[in-house]
Amino acid sequence: MYFTDRGIEELEKRRGDEDVTLAWLADQLRAYVDLHPDDENPIERFATWLARADDPDDD
pTM comes to: 0.78
- In tens, the pLDDT along 6-54 reads 888 999 999 999 999 999 999 999 999 999 999 999 999 999 999 999 8
Residue-averaged pLDDT of the chain: 90
% of the chain surpassing 90 pLDDT: 75
Residues 6+ apart with CB under 8 A from 33: 39, 40, 43
Residue 3, pLDDT > 80, answer no
Q: Do 31 and 43 meet the contact criterion of CB atoms below 8 Å apart?
A: no
Between helix 22-35 and helix 40-52 the angle, nearest 10°, is 170
In angstroms, the CA 47 to CA 29 distance is 8
In the prediction, which pLDDT does 1 show? 53
